[in-house]
Amino acid sequence: MPTATITGVAVTLNDEGFFEDPNQWNEDMAVELARREGIDPLTDQHWKVIHFMRDQYFEKGTGPTVRVLGKTSGVTIKELYQLFPKGPAKMAAKVAGIPKPRGCI
């Protein structure tokens, strides 16, 4: 399993760069992860989505899909794409330090 160093801390990521263990994550890492994805700075709306993703993960065992985010996070899908242009569910999951949303098979 690949490891990476984020803000000086070693964390375990999967092959696609998603956290294996969300408990290794902290907010400073989110700022750094977002910068790597081209998002700088993280606005209040970004944080709202990041915290929502993490809450959903710990409640349901997987991060939400974009559609569910749009229905339940209080942020519209259009705005989600403005916040996380490369695909809100995947990109926000990466920044929020949770595994890739299982989504749909």
Partner 1 sequence: MTFDPVGRPRWCRSIALVNERILILGGGTGGTLAANRLRKALPHRTSITVVDENDRHVYQPGLLFVPFGLAAPDEIVRPRALQLHHGIDYHQSAVDHVDLDADRVHLADGATLDYDVLVVATGCRLVPEETEGLVGPGWMRDVFTFYDLEGATALHRALTEFTGGRLVVNVVDLPIKCPVAPLEFCFLADWYFHERGMRDDVDIVYVTPLDGAFTKPTASRALAGMLEERHIELVAEFNTGEVVCDETGGGRLVGYDGTEVPFDLAVVIPMHSGATYVGRSPGLGDDLDFVTADEHTLQAAAKANVFALGDAASLPISKAGSVTHFEGEVLVENIIRFLRDEPLDASYDGHANCFIETGFHKAMLIDFNYDQEPVGGHFPTRVGVPLLEESRLNHLGKLMFQWFYWHALLPGRDIPGITSAMPTAGKHVEPTTPSPT
Q: Which residues bind partner 1 (CB under 8 A)?
A: 64-68, 71-72, 77-78, 81, 85, 87, 102-105
CB contact set of 91 (below 8 Å; sequence gap of 6+): 37, 84, 85
Q: Which is nearer to partner 1, 3 or 7 (CB)?
A: 3
From the CB of 35, what's the least distance to partner 1, in Å? 21
From the CB of 94, what's the least distance to partner 1, in Å? 15
Cross-strand bridge partners of residue 4: 11
Tokens of 37: 């994805």
From the CB of 68, what's the least distance to partner 1, in Å? 5
Q: How far is CA 8 from the centre of its chain?
A: 19
Using only C-alpha atoms, the chain has a radius of gyration, in whole angstroms, of 13
Residue with tokens 């920044």: 95
Asked if residue 23 lies in contact with residue 99, where contact means CB atoms within 8 angstroms, the answer is: no
Mark whether 54 is an active-site residue.
no
Q: Which is nearer to partner 1, 7 or 72 (CB)?
A: 72
Q: Which is nearer to partner 1, 38 or 87 (CB)?
A: 87
Catalytic residues: 104
